[in-house]
Amino acid sequence: MTTDGMGTEDFTGRVALVSGASRGIGYAIAAALLVRGAAVTITARKADELAAAADELAHTVEGGADRVLAVPGNAGDGAARAEAVDRTVERFGSLDVLVNNAGTNPAYGPLMQVDLIAVRKTLDVNVVAALGFVQQAHRAWMAEHGGVVINVASVAGLRSTKAIAAYGMSKAAMIRLTEELAWELGPSIRVNAVAPAVIKTKFSTALYTHGEEQVAKAYPLARLGTPADVAALVTFLASDAACWVTGETVRVDGGLLATGPLR
């Protein structure tokens, strides 16, 4: 990678792995990297949805079939993470960009009423699995060759909210994980996070279907985010243009946190 501050978002010759990429934010990130020249491995739990996503991605660019690999598996399963990383390196010859996007949110409401089994699952998928992917990528490629890690966190990890308290707790841990990894893995590996507010995906439907227009009024930019909004920031942070940025969590929230506490 260049270090003169003049890098671009050209990923030709680079290889990315994106977890939770069969739809929504993960799919948009994979698509953005693919059209910028990267070869991309996508992972997700549901094999049929993942295969359909891979087929769609392969048809978005010329020669896409040669640059898209689908590896189904649960991010919380260590064997599945190892398979995704190993098959990526075997197929494409490297692993330059890891995007930890897989996440879950099985528990809503305040912490005093939350099911602790759901909390454990949330932390395991949102935090432990992310670290597991980094460990695997580090062993398989990045320790020797360097690379970039992008963690998809949330504004709920930056400000308190009663609605998704356990999820916010897990994303706060992911933000702290990002800082620790940036310190531990530098200078050859950069680690950053993005913190979206409400993005219009199936995952976040419950947060805005009761009235999207009313929810959007809380945002200075007067709309909810889209997966493409997040993907644009991720590709910048993964690119040479961000070669002196590490350990950061960058909000992509339409100005929401500038207005005060989440509500």
The residues carrying an active-site annotation are: 167
What's the CA dihedral at 48, 121, 82, 93 to 10 degrees? Answer: 70
Q: Which two tokens stand for residue 143?
A: 């320790």
Omega of the bond leading into 220 within 30 degrees of 0 (cis): no
Distance of alpha carbon 239 from alpha carbon 209, whole angstroms: 35
Name the amino acid, one letter, at 107: A
Distance of alpha carbon 217 from alpha carbon 204, whole angstroms: 17
User: Quick one: which of 121, 123, 141 has its CA closest to 131?
Assistant: 123
Number of CB atoms found within 10 A of residue 35's CB: 14
Give the Å distances, CA to CA, from 194 to 41, 52, 91, 235. 20, 26, 28, 11
End-to-end CA, the chain = 41
DSSP letter assigned to residue 17: E
Number of CB atoms found within 10 A of residue 139's CB: 13
Angle 167-195-78 from CA coordinates, rounded to 5°: 60
